[in-house]
């Protein structure tokens, strides 16, 4: 125990030293190595006096806030205490100065530091291009030194992170637009932030409680039921987004890549298997869609897959939404995830490394399949197998005729009819009757990948 403490103190001193060394190196990722992962916040402040703790804590927070902007934005933040990062998919603003947030009308008051008043407004949600979703704006007023902001009703010692819990119940959007960006934005603070969840959806907060409570020690604030003025030492409004179900360790704030996120998920949901070779026997989970993009011969598929040597679990879509804690463990206990292109495949993030993801690519879904779920699988070290259906396996043949451009040239439908009508055809009107003989080859390949992993 005592030895442990000495060690921590040593780490603390080293850490401070490395902090000084690494300040000019912010863009090279070293900072992350020192702060983001190896050294937790508590270790960092171990053994200091109360006054020192406060100073260090302020510096700790300021340092990590500044990692959320780069280049010109960083210079602006250093100079004025306020800057926004505007990217293709997302926008977030950082204030290192004390702010007041009136949650009644989601207005953030930030001192401008001069006699000039200015204001800006953003919708704190990633994938801005998917708006208009009903995402409420947050107004930020940079008030001049000749105006008084509303007075504080609650004082908080930690930065606020303001984001919208969105509008859909779609697991892809929940994970892609909110959970991953929230992780990217807040992980570095070591749970020492307060979440202000605009458009607060109790179902979202309940579903992702395990994740939210790991990223923040505190109960999230729901502005709709807590319309008061809250004061914070600093704030981030909006979340940093990297890419489709992706994390880029070189992007802001630096150091948060897919492996770190997967480690976080395993810890959060107590996932047992890090690697597929630990899964006791070949086990395949089939995501059974019940609305659109159904497998019309699902029972025969299941028989064939069992016959090939897998234990098969079938999960109906409605079940996906319910209990993420149980469901993540179920997915993690499987060596293969199989499904038609669709949001349910987002659950691939729970697979062990070295597992296999088989995506059935329906007509017209090739690009989306690859971009949304294929790239993610590869980034996780999960083997990605695609089963591209033949036109004759698609129900669209019956609907449009074998010679229709819908069947012979799906790409042209996107160009001629536009994105939305094309999506209706390919995503909403299409089911598939799998060619069992051909599909068996993919299943056998998956089995050999999984069994090879035992041999290693
Ligand atoms: C927000 O509401 C408060 C209290 O109702 C009001 O004083 C303030 O002017 C409002 N701010 C904006 C920007 O509407
Ligand atoms: C307000 O800011 C201006 C600079 O923009 C400064 O000249 C003035 O002295 C400041 N007033 C107060 C009361 O701080
Ligand atoms: C006011 O804010 C806008 C962006 O919201 C910015 O372009 C402009 O430079 C700001 N003006 C001043 C005086 O800070
Ligand atoms: C509003 O939030 C504050 C601080 O987070 C809390 O103390 C207070 O009880 C909340 N009020 C309501 C009505 O939820
Ligand atoms: C990751 O981020 C860096 C820095 O923003 C960028 O240069 C690089 O292209 C990104 N990588 C990918 C795969 O998007
Ligand atoms: C499709 O086109 C081919 C030749 O272009 C023709 O032989 C065939 O009868 C057509 N099939 C249908 C169902 O129209």
Q: What is the mean pLDDT of residues 151-156?
A: 96
Q: Where does the pLDDT of residue 317 fall: very low under 50, low under 70, confident under 90, or very high at 90 and above?
A: low
Among 90-99, 131-140, 153-162, 269-278, which is the least confidently predicted range? 131-140
Mean pLDDT for the stretch of residues 45-54: 59
**276-455 adopts what CATH topology?**
Rossmann fold (3.40.50)
Residue nearest to atom 11 of ligand 5 (CA): 248
- Residue 154 Cβ inside 6 Å of ligand 4? The answer reads yes
pTM over 0.75: yes
For the chain, the residue count is: 456
- Domain extents for the chain? 1-47, 68-265, 276-455
d(CA 233, CA 111): 12
Question: Would you say the CB of residue 203 lies under 6 angstroms from ligand 5?
Answer: no
114 lines ligand 2 (CB under 6 A): yes
Nearest to 84 by CA among 143, 28, 29, 142: 142
Q: How far is residue 89's CA from residue 69's CA, in Å, rounded to a whole number?
A: 15
DSSP-assigned letter for residue 394 = B
Nearest Cα to 162, choosing from 96, 219, 84, 223?
223
Which carries the bigger pLDDT value, residue 5 or residue 305? 305
When the pLDDT of each residue in the chain is averaged and rounded to a whole number, the result is: 87
pLDDT at 170: 86
Of all residues in the chain, the percent with pLDDT exceeding 70 is: 86
| Residue 114 Cβ contacting ligand 3 at under 6 Å | no
4 CB less than 6 Å from ligand 2? no
pLDDT digits (tens, 9 = 90+) for 206-250: 999 999 999 999 999 999 999 999 999 999 999 999 999 999 999
Q: Which of 115, 116, 144 to mutate to test the pocket of ligand 2 (most atoms within 8 A of CB)?
A: 115
> How many DSSP H helices and E strands does the chain contain?
20, 16
Minimum CA distance residue for ligand 6 atom 5: 403
Q: Closest residue (by CA) to atom 11 of ligand 4? A: 226
- Residue of the CA atom closest to atom 4 of ligand 2: 114
- The residue among 456 and 185 whose pLDDT is bigger is 185
pLDDT band of residue 275 (cuts 50, 70, 90) is very high
Of the candidate ranges 12-16, 123-127, 369-373, 418-422, the one whose mean pLDDT is the lowest: 12-16
Our answer on whether the CB atom of 199 is closer than 6 Å to any ligand 5 atom is no
pLDDT at 9 over 60: no
Show the tokens assigned to 189. 């603070």
Structure confidence by residue, pLDDT tens digits, 409-444 = 999 999 999 999 999 999 999 999 999 999 999 999
Which residue minimizes the CA distance to atom 3 of ligand 4?
Answer: 154
């Amino acid at each position: 125990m005592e030895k442990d403490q000495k060690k921590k103190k040593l780490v603390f001193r080293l850490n401070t030293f490395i902090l000084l060394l690494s300040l000019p190196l912010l863009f090279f990722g070293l900072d992350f190595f020192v702060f983001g992962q190896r050294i937790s916040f508590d270790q960092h402040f171990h053994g200091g006096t109360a006054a020192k703790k406060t100073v260090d804590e302020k510096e700790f927070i300021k340092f990590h806030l500044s990692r959320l902007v780069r280049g010109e934005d960083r210079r602006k933040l250093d100079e004025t205490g306020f800057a926004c990062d505007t990217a293709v998919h997302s926008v977030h603003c950082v204030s290192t100065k004390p702010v007041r947030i009136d949650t009644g009308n989601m207005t953030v008051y930030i001192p401008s530091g001069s006699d000039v008043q200015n204001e800006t407004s953003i919708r704190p949600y990633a994938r801005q291009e998917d708006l208009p979703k009903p995402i409420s704006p947050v107004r930020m007023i940079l008030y001049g030194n000749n105006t008084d902001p509303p007075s504080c009703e609650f004082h908080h010692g930690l930065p606020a992170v303001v984001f919208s819990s969105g509008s859909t119940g779609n697991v892809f959007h929940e994970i892609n637009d909110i959970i991953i960006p929230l992780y990217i934005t807040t992980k570095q603070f070591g749970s020492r932030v307060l979440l202000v969840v605009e458009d607060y959806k109790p179902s979202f907060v309940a579903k992702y409680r395990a994740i939210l409570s790991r990223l923040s020690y505190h109960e999230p604030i729901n502005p709709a039921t807590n319309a008061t003025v809250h004061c914070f030492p600093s704030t981030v409004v909006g979340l940093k987004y990297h890419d489709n179900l992706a994390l880029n360790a070189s992007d802001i704030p630096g150091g948060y890549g897919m492996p770190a996120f997967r480690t976080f998920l395993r810890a959060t949901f107590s996932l047992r298997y890090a690697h597929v070779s630990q899964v006791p026997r070949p086990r395949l989970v089939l995501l059974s869609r019940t609305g659109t993009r159904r497998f019309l011969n699902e029972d025969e598929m299941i028989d064939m897959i069992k016959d090939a040597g897998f234990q098969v679990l079938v999960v109906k879509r409605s079940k996906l939404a319910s209990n993420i804690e149980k469901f993540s463990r179920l997915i993690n206990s499987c060596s293969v995830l199989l499904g038609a292109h669709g949001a349910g495949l987002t659950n691939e993030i729970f697979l062990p490394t070295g597992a296999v993801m088989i995506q059935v690519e329906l007509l017209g879904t090739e690009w989306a399949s690859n971009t949304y779920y294929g790239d993610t699988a590869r980034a996780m070290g999960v083997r990605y197998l695609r089963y591209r259906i033949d036109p004759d396996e698609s129900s669209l043949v019956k609907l449009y005729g074998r010679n229709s451009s819908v069947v012979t040239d799906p790409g042209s439908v996107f160009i001629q009819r536009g994105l939305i009508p094309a999506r209706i055809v390919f995503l909403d009107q299409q089911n598939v009757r799998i060619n069992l003989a051909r599909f068996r080859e993919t299943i056998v390949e998956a089995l050999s990948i999984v069994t090879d992993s035992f041999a290693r």
